[in-house]
Structure 1
Amino acid sequence: MTIQWRDLDTVSAHPGLYLQAVLHRSVTGKTLPDLGLRAQITIDPRNLADYRKVCGVVESSLLPPAYPHVLAFPLQLRLLTDKRFPFPLLGLVHLENSIQVLRPLAGLGPFTISVHAENLKPHDKGAVFSIITRLEDQLGLLWQGDSRILCRGVKLDASPEAAPELEDMQLNEIAHWHAPSDIGRRYAKVSGDYNPIHMSALSAKLFGFPRAIAHGLWNKGRVLAELANQLPDSGYQLYVRFKKPLLLPGDVILKASANAPSGQFVLSGSDGGPHLQGQWQPLDG
């Protein structure tokens, strides 16, 4: 598929896009659009500082490895609410996420950030597709992300593929923390992701959850903050599989393998059930 790129003057997401998402609640097709969105950006130091605070990231000369998700979210929201996009935004489920940190994420820009959708495939519960995000500077690609998204109820004429198996490693507890009831609202202020399932128990119940749930990318950002001493500055890829939602408030335990070029981790609740699990390895691994 050849991507038709649309260059935008700003990455700001219009508040009316969520209202548009509420009104668009049906599947309108089975083909992803060839639309790609991109824009020139510079990083707001205040937003970066707020992200570090809400995710527990220590001060550094480098950007947090999950922070490009925040930079890209407005473009992703525009893409998913575009009239040509066949699946309704509300109800989509973020199943998996992988990133590649090719070079150190240094400086505040200017950068080029871009998003597009590809790789639509069948799933046991519907269909999955990728949102590909790229962050580039004057020298080329710095960071790339692949978010695998599930749309329930879509039937494609093919057999589902099995999820990749994670390597079985010895894991030890390295941290634990409390996720307060307002963390969804606090992360939303930083990321712009005001999905109702994260805002309050009342709004989450409208979508079948007993209480608000934490953003999966807040969980990921918080985990990577704890793994900072085990991850290199660049030259690695990291994969996360989102599991059981983290109901707010909630307590979690992070376990990880020993410090090494390759490793594995799992974030679990007090009952032992995993909220996310993943692994990292060198890009040439």
Structure 2
Amino acid sequence: MGVVLEFDEPPVVSLATVAMKRASKHTPGAPFPHIEARARRLLPNPDAYARICGFPTTDPLPVTYPDVLARGLQLAVLTHTDFPLRLMGIIHTEQTIEQRRAIHPTEALAGRAWVEGPRVARKGGEFDLHTLISAAGEDVWHGVTTILSRELPGDGVKRPHPQEPSWNATRSVVWPLPADLGRRYSAVTGDYNPIHLWPVTARLFGFKRPIAHGWWALARCVAELDTDVPANCRIHARFSSPMPMPGKLCFAAGPMASGGHAFALRRKDVCLSGEVRPG
């Protein structure tokens, strides 16, 4: 069964705890130990998040917000002494969200978080951070966050990109990326990865400038899609290149022949691409 951490509400994990997390021994090829954190009660407060991501500050909850609700559970798992990696400098590479129905802030919500992996990637090792949200015992939201750690050995093999769905853009808009966006988003969500904060902290991990949070970029895309995102939906996104701040991003979206909508964010190249489909 491994380690199961039980909480009434998600714990507050300090930035110092995250920063001081040290790597421990991990046998190459072996799975991570099972570490799971559970909270019996989640208390939504989505207004500041909705504003910074472009959602309306009204019921129901933004479809990307449950990840923020469970942030304390995620950090409890990732900072546990049995988890073998440091958190500083990890990179969000892929995201899947499955929401069964609209979630309302007045509901009795509970949450779980755990990790699975790792698996070898080109530039390190990847693992999946799972987040499950339930309402009165009914599972209503499941997120899988795929994360790259360069602490783990990579194999140097360039893998083919998955085939993109066929679609044509029917709308586009340019968004500014202010220099302080990462710091403001961190203050709202508690995600203080230094690659998003200041030039000096980003350079410690190989980036010339701080880069935008993948979760912010995905949430901003979903907010822009608005009514094209059904309450019962599946969202999948891939992060292919950094989004340096300050700067600009071009958002484009359009319907797919197979149903649902595709979207992309570009600078010179694609930074993020994804699809929203009915659940």
TM-score, normalised to structure 1's length?
0.88
Is contact 1:5–1:36 with CA below 8 Å preserved after alignment? yes
Answering whether residue 277 of structure 2 is matched by residue 281 of structure 1, we say yes
Deviation at 1:132, TM superposition (A): 0.8
Is contact 1:134–1:141 with CA below 8 Å preserved after alignment? yes
Is contact 1:255–1:265 with CA below 8 Å preserved after alignment? yes
Deviation at 1:161, TM superposition (A): 7.4
Q: Aligned partners of 2:107, 2:190: CA distance in 1, in Å?
A: 20
Q: Aligned partners of 1:84, 1:161: CA distance in 2, in Å?
A: 30
Deviation at 1:17, TM superposition (A): 1.4
Between the two proteins, the alignment pairs up a number of residues equal to: 274
Q: Which residue of 2 aligns with 1:194?
A: 192
Deviation at 1:218, TM superposition (A): 0.6
Q: Which residue of 2 aligns with 1:240?
A: 237
Q: Secondary structure at the match of 2:75?
A: helix
Deviation at 1:69, TM superposition (A): 1.4
Q: Which amino acid aligns with 2:278?
A: P
Is contact 1:17–1:78 with CA below 8 Å preserved after alignment? no
Deviation at 1:155, TM superposition (A): 4.4
Deviation at 1:156, TM superposition (A): 8.5
Q: Which amino acid aligns with 1:275?
A: C
Deviation at 1:165, TM superposition (A): 2.5
Q: Which amino acid aligns with 1:202?
A: V
Structure 1 pair 121/170, CA: closer, same or farther in 2 (3 Å)?
A: same
1:69-110 Cα distance to aligned partner (Å, 9 max, x none): 111222111211111111221232211000001111123332
Q: Secondary structure at the match of 1:94?
A: strand
Q: Quick one: which of 65, 68, 72 aligns to 1:67?
A: 65
Answering whether residue 80 of structure 2 is matched by residue 88 of structure 1, we say no
Q: Which amino acid aligns with 2:122?
A: D
| TM alignment of 1:1-285, pairs within 5 A | 2=1, 4-15=3-14, 16-21=16-21, 24-25=22-23, 28-29=26-27, 30-45=30-45, 48-152=46-150, 154-155=152-153, 164-234=162-232, 236-258=233-255, 261-269=259-267, 271=268, 273-283=269-279
Is contact 1:98–1:147 with CA below 8 Å preserved after alignment? yes
Deviation at 1:18, TM superposition (A): 2.1
Q: Secondary structure at the match of 1:54?
A: helix
Structure 1 pair 78/162, CA: closer, same or farther in 2 (3 Å)?
A: farther
Q: Secondary structure at the match of 2:168?
A: coil
Q: Aligned partners of 1:259, 1:166: CA distance in 2, in Å?
A: 10
- Cα RMSD over matched residues? 2.3
Unmatched 5+ stretches in structure 1: none
Deviation at 1:168, TM superposition (A): 2.5
Deviation at 1:172, TM superposition (A): 3.4
Q: Secondary structure at the match of 2:126?
A: strand
Q: Which amino acid aligns with 1:74?
A: G
1:134-158 Cα distance to aligned partner (Å, 9 max, x none): 000114101000111122253489x
Deviation at 1:122, TM superposition (A): 2.1
Q: Aligned partners of 2:204, 2:60: CA distance in 1, in Å?
A: 39
Moved over 4 A (4+): 159-163
TM-score, normalised to structure 2's length?
0.90
Structure 1 pair 162/88, CA: closer, same or farther in 2 (3 Å)?
A: farther
